[in-house]
Amino acid sequence: MRRDLLSLTEEDLASIGTRGHVRRAQKTLENHKAECTSLEEQEDGTLVLLWSDDVTCTLFADRVLADAGCTCPAPNICRHIIRSVLHYQQHMADHVGELGEEEAAAAAEIAIAASEPWDPGAITDEALEEALSKVKMRKAHKHQRDGAVVELVRGRKPLATFHKLGFTLRFQVPGDVRYTRCDCVDDAPCEHVPLAVWAFRELPEDKQSGFVTMGHEEEIETPTELFAKVAHQFGELVEHGFTGTPPAAMDRFEQLEAKLRDAEMVWPASIIADIRQQYQHYTGHDARFSPTDIANLVGEFMIRAQALEGDQTEVPSLFIRGSSDDMNSKMGQTVFVGMGCSVTKRKQSIVVQAMLQDKKTGKVVALGHEFVDPSEDDNIEASPLHELGSKLVIQGRDLASLGRSQLVLKKATLGADHGLELGRARASAYQQTYKWEELLAPVFAEDFDEVRAKLQALPPASLRPRRVGEDFHVVPIKRVQRASFSVRDQAIMATIVDDHDHTALIYHPYTDRNRQGTERLLAMLERYPDKIKFVSGTMHVGAHGLIIEPAGLVFDPDDDPDARILVQPWVDPFIDRSATDTELGAARPPLDPIDMFRSELSQSLGELYLLGLNHVDEQTRKRFERLLAFGVKLGMREMLAPLADVVTTLDPDHQMPGDHEPGVAVLETSVVSKLLQELA
């Protein structure tokens, strides 16, 4: 009984051959265009299949499927070999009742192994040495000595992502290292397989996912004095506020940013760059200026600095500080696949981004634009989101079309945050057919359990790379279990089921500006509950399980893979009002007290950074007093100790010690505010 062949899924077969081979083989079997006239299993496990179309396939027991033989003239693995595997799997399923006791037990064991998580760490070194050449083993040992940070997920198809190396490896068959798929150019099994196996051995047995640092992580000295200088500048900033900060002070921030980059503190340096950008928005009277963003940026910097200076965090320092690989980089000709559009609402602007995956490396990048929103004083109606999505970005292509296109770039600049900058480079966009099963891991996940395991291993946003798409995934879907518009939450809420009957919740908020896309989403969920194929979006684990904020949903209404439809609920227009009877926007959702507190705290801190401690008035002080009392009622007394110090600092009658720096309490409260938002 061929354990390896019975464990291979359609996705595995597509990665070994091609997606076209799999589809053609399936159609041949379904339509009985060819019949297997003989299936012989030899003593050593080799399978020989004779077909009615005069083709003979030999699936050797001691070789991987890619080395199987076929009498057709195709030079590589062909559709006949894929067809033979599918037939063998179906044959064994149809005749399981005819198996002997020993064979039936083996079949049951294979079925269980294929449906449950397993641990590649159980693979022995002897098995590795047998499957890999000495050269590959030496390279693997060198990677281990040099140090590597590996993100691991134990699942039905275990996953290992090598940060810094930039590769993702998936194990396809339990216990068999020959069946692996890696992003690198080497044939399987590649030099990264042993590295992944050794990393899984270091992951605690009680964890389904996590990070492992192998060897010695690159030692970068923490610039404690430099962090202290930045904190001092933050203190000066909060004392005088943006309104009282001269350009010369921003020059000092620019110098500190350069020193942080020299010290390989890439992410802390990028935070300083963002603060300087906010100052430019302020001095330029740009509507994109946001005091709240300043408070959040300061809080994030302080969190990263404290984590790097301490020794209690389990998060790899590579994530917290970044590395030379996280700098801006130039890209040559690259093909990207659109995965839908996301929208981020800011105080006076809105960011629309097409989410794309590099077809070769699997990197997620974003190509978008920040649109300035009119303020209430402008007396101008804000544009609906589907109109913003139709704004031109490159050569006649708008953002919404980029989310559903395949984009070919001659050259571009990839920012450290994985934002894509095209400049004047030539680019071409083509319609895609949404074969998202061909997307690469770790963005493409086998099921919701894999996504949950990956998300649970992720540290808070302030302690991980500052890149788009860190929690963006694509998952195959089997059906919509139920979908409705929640008047209380003012959102579309739908329970969806993956191919292994795990469930997740789609949550898409309704606003007046995205009404059309929201209506289209609800209509498609109600009309085609069994025709949904994929969902993409930002995902997180909440009280109700896995929650998905969708950027795109792929439907196949006609059961034709070449006629699939993409719904982008943020930016799609929708004209067919008769498609749904649901009335949207009938009520406003009640405000959650903790959400209110988080919002009030970040906004109040933003005002301090704008005005400065030297210019606060009695009204500001009372606002912070009320905020503190509100937080204490919510049970956060201990956490809000820094906020209590801010209230004391704002009291003009309170005498502070001579060595007291008034801005320290604000900086510490910024840390608390940022953590409260990330722990939402």
Rounded to whole angstroms, the Cα distance separating 261 from 223 reads 11
CA-CA distance, 474 to 356, in Å (whole number)?
A: 11
Stretch among 211-225, 230-244, 471-485, 542-556 having the lowest mean pLDDT: 211-225
Q: How confident is the model at residue 649 (pLDDT cuts 50, 70, 90)?
A: confident
Q: Is the confidence at residue 294, as pLDDT, over 90?
A: yes
Q: What is the pLDDT of residues 180-216, one digit of tens each?
A: 999 888 888 999 999 999 999 999 998 999 999 887 7
How far is it, in rounded angstroms, from Cα 595 to Cα 601?
Answer: 10
Q: Give the global pTM.
A: 0.86
Q: Nearest to residue 613, comparing CAs of 662, 652, 653, 673?
A: 662
If phi > 0 it is left, if psi is from -120 to 50 it is alpha, else beta; for residue 567 that is: beta
Could you tell me the two tokens for 601?
A: 């705290």
Query: pLDDT category, 580, cuts 50, 70, 90?
Result: low
pLDDT of residue 562: 84
Share of the chain above pLDDT 90, in %: 59
Q: What is the pLDDT of residues 528-538, one digit of tens each?
A: 999 999 999 99
pLDDT at 111: 62
Query: Is the Cβ–Cβ distance between 6 and 59 less than 8 Å?
Result: no
The percentage of the chain sitting over the pLDDT mark of 70, rounded to a whole number, equals: 91
Band of pLDDT at residue 14, cut at 50, 70 and 90: confident
Residue spans per domain, the chain: 3-115, 120-214, 329-433, 448-579, 593-678
Alpha-carbon distance values, 542 to 455, 503, 548, 550 (Å): 11, 13, 10, 15
Residue 609 exposed, middle or buried by CB count within 10 Å (0-12, 13-18, 19+)? buried
3-state secondary structure of 302: helix
Mean pLDDT calculated for residue range 369-383: 73
User: Can you spell out the DSSP letters for 544-583?
Assistant: TEEEEEEEEEEE-TTS-GGG-EEE-TTT-----GGG--PP
C-alpha 545, offset from chain centre: 17
DSSP states of 394-425 as a string? ETTEEHHHHHTEEEEES-EEE-TT-BEE-TT-
Evaluate whether 329-433 and 448-579 have a shared fold.
yes
- Mean pLDDT computed over every residue of the chain: 88
Where do the DSSP E strands lie in 298-348?
Answer: 329-331, 334-345
pLDDT at 361: 85
CATH number of 448-579: 2.40.50.140
DSSP state of 17: S
Give dist(CA 614, CA 612) in Å, integer.
5
Question: In what helix (H) or strand (E) does residue 275 lie, and over which residues does it extend?
Answer: helix 266-283
Nearest to 341 by CA among 300, 290, 402: 402
Coil vs helix vs strand at 521: helix
Distance (Å, whole) CA 258 – CA 189: 42
| Tokens matching residue 97 | 């009742």
pLDDT for the residue 378:
59
Mean of pLDDT values over 411-426? 83
Helix (H) or strand (E) holding 84: helix 79-94
Which pair of structure tokens corresponds to residue 632?
A: 């204490």
> Could you give the CA distance from residue 167 to residue 170 in angstroms, rounded to a whole number?
10
Higher pLDDT, 424 or 17: 17
How far apart are the C-alpha atoms of 422 and 435, rounded to whole Å?
26
Rounded to the nearest 5 degrees, what angle is found at the Cα of 449, between the Cα atoms of 504 and 210?
130
Looking at the predicted structure, is the pLDDT value of residue 657 above 60?
A: no
Query: How high is the pLDDT of residue 652?
Result: 75
Residue 185 DSSP one-character state = S
Find out whether 273 and 327 touch, Cβ atoms under 8 Å. Answer: no
Tokens of 536: 């993409």
The answer, yes or no, to whether residue 237 has pLDDT greater than 90, is yes
* pLDDT confidence bin for 323, thresholds 50/70/90: confident
Indicate whether 131 pLDDT > 90: yes
User: Distance from CA of residue 330 to its chain's centroid?
Assistant: 22
Say which residue, 335 or 115, is predicted with more confidence. 335
Question: Is it the case that residue 429 has pLDDT exceeding 90?
Answer: no
Q: Could you check whether the bond before residue 442 is cis, i.e. omega within 30 degrees of 0?
A: yes
Does residue 423 register a pLDDT over 80? Answer: no
Instruction: Name residue 412's beta-bridge partners.
Output: 331
Residue of higher predicted confidence among 331 and 568: 568
What is the model's pLDDT at position 26? 93
The span from the CA of 305 to the CA of 325, in Å, is 20
Band of the pLDDT at 220, cuts 50, 70, 90? confident
- The domain 329-433 is placed in CATH, from the list 2.40.50, 1.10.287, 2.60.40, 3.30.70, at 2.40.50
Nearest to 490 by CA among 424, 399, 589: 589
Is residue 503 pLDDT above 60, yes or no? yes
- Exposure string over 640-675, b if 16+ CB within 10 A, otherwise e: bebbbbbbebbeeeeeeeeeebbbbbbbbbbbbbbe
pLDDT at residue number 376: 53
Tell whether the model's pLDDT for residue 17 goes beyond 90.
Answer: no
Q: What is d(CA 665, CA 643) in angstroms, rounded to the nearest whole number?
A: 7
SS (H, E, C) 52-82: CCCCEEEECCCCCHHHCEECCCCCCCCHHHH
What is the pLDDT, as a whole number, of residue 49?
Answer: 96
Give the 3-state secondary structure of residue 316: coil
- In sequence order, the β-bridge partners of residue 513 are none
Query: Using CA atoms, how far apart are residues 642 and 645, in angstroms rounded to an integer?
Result: 5
Handedness of CA 265, 266, 269, 271 (dihedral sign): negative
Mean pLDDT of 485-490: 87
Q: Are 441 and 170 in contact (CB under 8 A)?
A: yes
